[in-house]
Homo-oligomer: A and B are copies of this chain.
Amino acid sequence: VIVTAGAQQALALVARAIATARIGAGDATYNGALDAFRSAGIAVACSGDIDYVIAGVSNPHGIEIADRGALLASGRPIIVDEAYAELRFDGHLGRPLLADAPGRVWHVGTISKTISPGLRLGWLIPPTAHHDAVLELKHAADLHASSVSQAAFARLLELTCYDAVIDRARSGYADRAAICADAVARHVPGMRFAEPEGGMSMWLESDDRGDDIELLATALTYGVVFDPGSLFRPEPCEQIAMRVSFSSAPLHELDEGARRLGRALAHWRQDRRAA
């Protein structure tokens, strides 16, 4: 296990260690992973020589989309990001892909989504054959993960019950997810989404096509914000989609936010019809 500055650094190290491949990341994926891969000069597309999956709960989808059987059958290396795995609302922790394909799984974890992003602590378990090379890359990148952060986290594990912290996070996010999904269903017409299974966001897809940055500008005038779908796309896509997050807004604002999003979308659609 190589301790890293969050899952982000783990992904950046993987990207540098596998420097020649094209990574397949599905229809949409964590934008920071796209940055890490592209920053290392690696192409990312919907499919590739190596798969990148966010196991348990995919970001931005808010649901499990990884097909375990297909991934194992493919024989390709797999980058498995478990950033949200502990935040499934049903508490189900799937068998790690690492357990079944240790020779080709790059296993990535983090405490950023459960404990604290500010500690910058994550981990990477590369296939054994790559371990020494990755350790050298880590050393050249920043010598070592913060020992102060590691000591603080170790202390926190002594002083608190980790399972209780996770349970509380899960149930808190589950409540927010239910309210957010309900609000979007009522106030934002023409958006498809799956009821979130975990995490802190949901992924809305529409049949609209166009520039989602333009839509975002309209939304801002209505006092609401979303993450434009284009940020998450491995390949350019005209379909309007977005990630909406329910992680920290006060509960009563989730409903109001959805109302405003609905109005902004109506306004934007009207402008486009007029144009």
Contacts and interface: CB of A to CB of B under 8 A. Distances in A.
B6 A142 contact: yes
Interface in A106-122: 116-120
A195 interface: no
A270 interface: no
A270 B143 CA distance: 38
A111 to B, nearest CB: 12
A211 interface: no
Copies of this protein in the complex: 2
A164 interface: no
A35 B136 CA distance: 8
Interface stretch (A144-152, A182-190, A238-246): A144-152
Main secondary structure, interface of A, reads: helix
Contacts of A4: 142
Interface in A1-45: 4-6, 8-9, 12, 32, 35-36, 38-39
A145 to B, nearest CB: 7
Given A148-B149, A149-B148, A143 B39 contact: no
Contact of A140 (B6, B35, B116, B152): B35
Nearest to A35: B140
Interface of A: 4-6, 8-9, 12, 32, 35-36, 38-39, 116-120, 136-137, 139-149, 151-152
30 contacts: A4-B142, A5-B141, A5-B142, A5-B146, A8-B140, A8-B141, A8-B142, A8-B143, A12-B141, A12-B142, A32-B140, A35-B139, A36-B140, A39-B136, A116-B148, A117-B147, A118-B147, A118-B148, A119-B148, A120-B120, A120-B142, A120-B143, A120-B144, A120-B145, A141-B141, A142-B142, A146-B146, A146-B149, A148-B152, A149-B149
